């Protein structure tokens, strides 16, 4: 039996909506023939694309619909109508619009009684994130927030190293995230991220963007965070927007934080859109343990067990005799890793259709927003802050 599940995809014309959610997740699931269940049944998504710009929606619906189901996907600028069932039955509402619009759209979906899934962050402050989480919980609606990094091959490998006891006691974690986002000024190419990311008043800022990710990643892989100290900065003061017009950057574009876990593990994360990459990947985690260390990128992981650890001696007067990069071996993994967003979509759809376990709720998402808010508090007040329970 096939369980057809209607999904309203809102904010689908954006970068995340189009690339990760429509093309690489839902179209890929449909092209695979749906999601197979243990019972032998399958879940098959049925999509309707919603947004403000009819031309963009039509173009997306035609391009991806033709390639996926042999005809255009349904689309409409009438979101309320879609929620009211005027364009067919849809039980899930998904939102990938820019952050400041999330609350309004979630409220509409709650009133319509939909299961709700959305991008992170759910809000830019924790009181709003918690309000939205309570709203969906009180209405008894299934709900979820994107926590894609958990399913990246590199971090799945770290999880298995941890579970196999490879690290011994984990002592410290260093996260290095970022790349150069072009300004579009002084002969530079146009930016590869939306301009609202650099304006506080539009929900931008690297701390609110990335600390949500660091929250679930640290929590799931290494344990709960007890306290943090953070600093942010606006390294680049002016950029050009999508139309080539200059604007003042009001949001942080670099952020530095030390998170101390309840068990004393120290996790230090640098995040920046103003750095040039000389490392294995755009996000690298270096995990040092008593029995071994690992450096994980988005896909690949290199490990150095205690027995292969070189013994350097400080002597800048001679050429370094040790080639440090050679002392690491690449970890072989399962070759069947799938797109992280797609895997989480499959989990959410199974949760909605057959009630399988799910923990990535709006409540969990609110804890990520809280961490970002505490980061900003630490930065503004120049002090350590404790992470209270929500």
Stretch that binds ligand NAD, among 96-104, 273-281, 303-311, 371-379 (CB under 6 A): 96-104
- What is the size of the binding site for ligand NAD (CB under 6 A)? 21
Should residue 16 be labelled a site residue for ligand NAD when binding is judged by CB under 6 A? Answer: yes
In the complex, minimum distance from the CB of residue 194 to ligand NAD, in angstroms, rounded to a whole number: 4
* Residues linked to residue 57 through DSSP beta bridges, in sequence order: none
Should residue 101 be labelled a site residue for ligand NAD when binding is judged by CB under 6 A? Answer: yes
Of 14 and 297, nearer to ligand NAD (C-beta) is 14
Give the whole-angstrom CA distance, residue 117 versus residue 360.
Answer: 10
Of 177 and 222, nearer to ligand NAD (C-beta) is 177
For the chain, report the end-to-end CA distance as a whole number of angstroms.
Answer: 41
In the complex, minimum distance from the CB of residue 245 to ligand NAD, in angstroms, rounded to a whole number: 16
Q: 386 and 371 in contact (C-beta within 8 Å)? A: no
Should residue 99 be labelled a site residue for ligand NAD when binding is judged by CB under 6 A? Answer: yes
Q: Which of 72, 106, 119, 205 binds ligand NAD (CB under 6 A)?
A: 119
In the complex, minimum distance from the CB of residue 213 to ligand NAD, in angstroms, rounded to a whole number: 7
Pair type for strands 329-330 and 301-305: antiparallel
Of 176 and 209, nearer to ligand NAD (C-beta) is 209
Q: Which residues, numbered 302-331, are part of the site for ligand NAD (CB under 6 A)?
A: none
Should residue 296 be labelled a site residue for ligand NAD when binding is judged by CB under 6 A? Answer: no
Stretch that binds ligand NAD, among 98-106, 249-257, 325-333, 359-367 (CB under 6 A): 98-106
Should residue 15 be labelled a site residue for ligand NAD when binding is judged by CB under 6 A? Answer: yes
Q: 17 and 9 in contact (C-beta within 8 Å)? A: yes
Nearest to 115 by CA among 123, 124, 106: 106
Angle at 147 between CA 30 and CA 352, to 5 degrees: 50
Stretch that binds ligand NAD, among 115-123, 133-141, 228-236, 376-384 (CB under 6 A): 115-123
Should residue 52 be labelled a site residue for ligand NAD when binding is judged by CB under 6 A? Answer: yes
Pair type for strands 74-76 and 42-50: parallel
Angle subtended by helix axes 153-163 and 206-221, to nearest 10: 30
In the complex, minimum distance from the CB of residue 14 to ligand NAD, in angstroms, rounded to a whole number: 2
Binding mask 175-214 for ligand NAD (x = CB under 6 A): -------------------x-x------------x-----
Q: 68 and 74 in contact (C-beta within 8 Å)? A: no
Should residue 97 be labelled a site residue for ligand NAD when binding is judged by CB under 6 A? Answer: yes
Place of tokens 């050679």: 326
Of 104 and 169, nearer to ligand NAD (C-beta) is 104
Q: Which of 29, 43, 96, 173 binds ligand NAD (CB under 6 A)?
A: 96
Should residue 252 be labelled a site residue for ligand NAD when binding is judged by CB under 6 A? Answer: no
In the complex, minimum distance from the CB of residue 273 to ligand NAD, in angstroms, rounded to a whole number: 12
Name the closest residue to ligand NAD (Cβ). 14
Cα 308 from chain centroid (whole Å): 34
At a CB cut-off of 8 Å and minimum separation 6, what does 57 contact? 12, 13, 49, 50, 51, 75, 76, 77
Give the whole-angstrom CA distance, residue 334 versus residue 151.
Answer: 13
Of 97 and 363, nearer to ligand NAD (C-beta) is 97
Place of tokens 């509409």: 108
Give the DSSP H/E element, type plus range, for residue 131: helix 126-138
Give the DSSP H/E element, type plus range, for residue 301: strand 301-305
Q: 247 and 288 in contact (C-beta within 8 Å)? A: no
Range list of β-strands (E), 31-106 = 35-36, 42-50, 74-76, 92-95
In the complex, minimum distance from the CB of residue 350 to ligand NAD, in angstroms, rounded to a whole number: 20
Judged by the rule CB under 6 A, the positions of this chain that interact with ligand NAD are 11, 13-17, 51-52, 96-99, 101, 119-121, 146, 148, 194, 196, 209
């Amino acid at each position: 039996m096939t369980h057809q599940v209607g999904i309203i995809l809102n904010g689908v014309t954006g970068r995340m909506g189009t690339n990760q959610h429509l093309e690489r997740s839902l179209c890929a699931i449909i092209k695979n023939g749906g999601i197979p269940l243990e019972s032998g049944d399958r879940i098959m998504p049925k999509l309707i694309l919603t947004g403000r710009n009819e031309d963009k929606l039509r173009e997306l619906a035609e391009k991806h619909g033709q390639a996926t189901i042999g005809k255009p996907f349904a689309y409409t600028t009438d979101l309320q109508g879609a929620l009211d069932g005027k364009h067919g039955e849809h039980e899930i509402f998904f939102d990938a619009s820019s952050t400041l619009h999330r609350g309004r759209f979630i409220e509409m979906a709650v009133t319509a009684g939909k299961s709700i899934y959305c991008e992170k962050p759910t809000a830019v402050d924790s009181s709003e994130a918690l309000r939205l989480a309570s709203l969906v919980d009180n209405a008894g609606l299934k709900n979820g927030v994107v926590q894609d990094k958990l399913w990246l091959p590199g971090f799945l490998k770290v999880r298995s190293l941890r579970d196999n006891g490879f690290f011994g006691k984990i002592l410290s974690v260093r996260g290095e995230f970022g790349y150069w986002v072009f300004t579009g000024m002084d002969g530079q190419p146009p930016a590869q991220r939306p301009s609202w990311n650099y304006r506080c008043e539009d929900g931008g800022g690297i701390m609110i963007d990335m600390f949500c990710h660091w929250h679930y990643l640290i929590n799931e892989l290494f344990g709960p965070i007890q306290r943090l100290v953070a600093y942010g900065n606006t390294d680049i003061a002016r950029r050009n927007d999508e139309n080539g017009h200059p604007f003042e950057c009001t949001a942080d574009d670099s952020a530095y934080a030390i998170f101390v876990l309840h068990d004393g593990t120290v996790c230090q994360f640098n995040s920046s859109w103003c750095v040039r990459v000389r490392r294995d990947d755009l996000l690298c985690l270096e995990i040092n343990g008593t029995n071994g260390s690992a450096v994980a990128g988005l896909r690949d992981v290199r490990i150095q067990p205690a027995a292969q650890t070189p013994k350097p001696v400080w002597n800048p007067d001679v050429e370094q005799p040790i080639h440090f990069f050679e002392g690491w071996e690449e970890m072989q993994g399962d070759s069947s890793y799938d797109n992280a967003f797609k895997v989480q979509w499959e989990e959410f759809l199974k949760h909605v259709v057959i009630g399988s376990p799910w923990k990535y709720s709006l409540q969990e998402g609110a804890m990520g927003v809280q961490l970002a808010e505490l980061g900003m508090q630490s930065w503004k007040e120049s002090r350590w802050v404790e992470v209270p329970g929500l």
